[in-house]
């Protein structure tokens, strides 16, 4: 175990040095309520300006307030109103997968979180009758989620609040008794469940694990009087310690919190549609911008990239915006995949799997529309690489036979 931790932390330090030269990007869902629509977007935390990445609506609504990002393949996931696990390419904003969530034992899958240490998406599988909660993981291509816990680890979860400690392989959530429950990612068993206690505030939510200092941060709050503080929690004792000396707001939007790991800032939305940044060291507000969304009514379900917990290198280092390709369809694909280019020409195409193996390569002369046979591909995310002899473009595709 010690060698694993040392290796992981070495990768973590290298990733932090690399990312220090870049700016973090905060992704989320831009949505309208009047004419229901949802788009992948990003936000400038200083100005509050929301910019859509998706050109077309991805859903009418999300079923529950939860999302996660696969930083390796650069895919944003959320659950839509039809209980489909929607995957969106962070570069293009296009939908790459939307399988129905299904399980042989449970009805719902909530509180999902991508684990950078093993490239799995974990969450809570639950039933309403009888009420029971299990640790589970989901296949993002098929939508099938499988219980890891052999027996219930609770009867309900208190939304929001879930995080993963990738070094020690622990999934944390807050249960209905206001306990911070720690679950083993390998067995799903409860390894800790202290009552959440604080001398100054009644509630603790919006868990975010920070790999920079192995600390669980969140929002400590009171309802009467209405007060909100940045805080941290000891996962073994459940004791909450305030970082902020003064209240940051008197209301909070329950749908989202994240950390900009490069600049040491915790972000949340208050109840008045303001995007608030708080310094993790001092607990002071460093930015407070009203949401300015020209294309929608709301912005929430947000997460920051890069993540310092990243320990897995992408199979393809760079994905490019569309220079050659006009359209790829259908997505996800079945037995065939069609590639429509912007102009007629000579093209070399490769399709590469997550391990870097070339599953298909072919040359096409004087064409604008290309049909590829993907019937023998295993379900999964692939990289389509196309070259016209001068330019090279890479795009993610999803095969779901």
The pLDDT, as a whole number, for residue 44 is 96
Tokens of 345: 């020409």
Closest-CA residue to 209 (of 251, 266, 138, 137): 266
CB 165 within 8 A of CB 172: yes
More confident residue, 319 or 102: 102
Is the pLDDT at 65 greater than 80, yes or no?
A: no
Is the pLDDT at 364 greater than 50, yes or no?
A: yes
Averaged pLDDT, 126-132: 88
The pLDDT, as a whole number, for residue 159 is 59
Query: Sheet of 95-97: strands edge to edge?
Result: 62-70, 75-80, 85-89, 95-97
Distance CA 384, CA 86 (A): 20
Among 22-31, 161-170, 301-310, the range scoring the smallest mean pLDDT is 301-310
Buried b (16+ CB within 10 A) or exposed e, 165-183: bbbbbbbbbbbeeebbbbb
Distance CA 94, CA 319 (A): 14
CB 217 within 8 A of CB 205: no
Is the pLDDT at 367 greater than 60, yes or no?
A: yes
Tokens of 42: 């990003």
More confident residue, 205 or 5: 205
What domains does the chain contain, in order, with CATH numbers? 2-305 (2.130.10.10), 325-399 (2.60.40.3080)
The pLDDT, as a whole number, for residue 208 is 93
Residues of the chain with pLDDT > 90, as a percent, come to 59
The pLDDT, as a whole number, for residue 101 is 95
For the chain, give the mean pLDDT: 86
More confident residue, 181 or 72: 181
Distance CA 153, CA 145 (A): 16
Averaged pLDDT, 236-260: 93
Is the pLDDT at 80 greater than 60, yes or no?
A: yes
Q: Read off the pTM.
A: 0.78
The pLDDT, as a whole number, for residue 393 is 84
Distance CA 18, CA 16 (A): 5
The pLDDT, as a whole number, for residue 333 is 85
Distance CA 266, CA 246 (A): 16
Is the pLDDT at 320 greater than 60, yes or no?
A: no
| Count of C-beta atoms within a 10 Å radius of residue 86 | 23
């Amino acid at each position: 175990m010690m060698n694993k931790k040392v290796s992981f932390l070495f990768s973590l330090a290298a990733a932090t040095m690399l990312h220090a030269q870049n700016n973090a990007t905060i992704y989320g869902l831009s949505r309208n309520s009047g004419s229901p629509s949802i788009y992948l977007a990003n936000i400038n935390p200083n100005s509050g300006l929301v910019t859509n990445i998706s050109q077309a609506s991805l859903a009418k609504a999300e079923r529950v307030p939860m999302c996660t990002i696969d930083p390796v393949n650069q895919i944003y996931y959320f659950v839509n109103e039809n209980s489909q696990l929607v995957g969106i390419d962070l570069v293009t904003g296009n939908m790459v997968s939307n399988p129905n969530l299904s399980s042989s034992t449970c009805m719902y899958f909530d509180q999902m979180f991508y684990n950078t240490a093993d490239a799995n998406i974990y969450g809570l599988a639950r039933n309403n009758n009888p009420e029971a909660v299990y640790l589970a993981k989901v296949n993002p291509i098929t939508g099938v989620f499988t219980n890891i816990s052999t027996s219930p680890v609770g009867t309900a979860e208190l939304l929001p609040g879930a995080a993963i400690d990738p070094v020690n392989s622990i999934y944390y959530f807050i249960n209905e008794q206001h306990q911070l429950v720690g679950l083993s990612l390998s067995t799903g068993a409860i390894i800790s469940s202290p009552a959440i206690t604080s001398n100054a505030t009644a509630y603790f939510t919006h868990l975010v694990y920070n790999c920079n200092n192995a600390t669980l941060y969140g929002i400590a709050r009171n309802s009467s009087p209405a007060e909100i503080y940045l805080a941290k929690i000891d996962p073994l004792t459940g004791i909450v310690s305030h970082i902020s000396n003064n209240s940051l707001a008197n209301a909070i939007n329950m749908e989202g919190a994240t950390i900009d790991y490069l600049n040491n800032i915790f972000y949340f939305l208050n109840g008045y549609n303001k995007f608030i940044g708080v310094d993790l060291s001092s607990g002071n507000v460093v930015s407070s911008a009203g949401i300015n969304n020209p294309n929608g009514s709301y912005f929430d379900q947000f997460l920051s990239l890069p993540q310092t917990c990243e320990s897995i290198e992408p199979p393809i280092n760079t994905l490019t915006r569309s220079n050659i390709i006009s359209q790829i369809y259908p997505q996800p694909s079945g037995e065939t995949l069609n590639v429509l280019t912007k102009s007629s020409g000579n093209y070399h195409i490769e399709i590469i799997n997550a391990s870097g193996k070339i599953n298909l390569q072919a040359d096409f002369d004087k064409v604008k529309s290309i049909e590829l046979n993907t019937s023998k591909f295993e379900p999964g995310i692939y990289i389509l690489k196309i070259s016209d002899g001068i330019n090279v473009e890479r795009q993610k595709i999803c095969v779901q036979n």
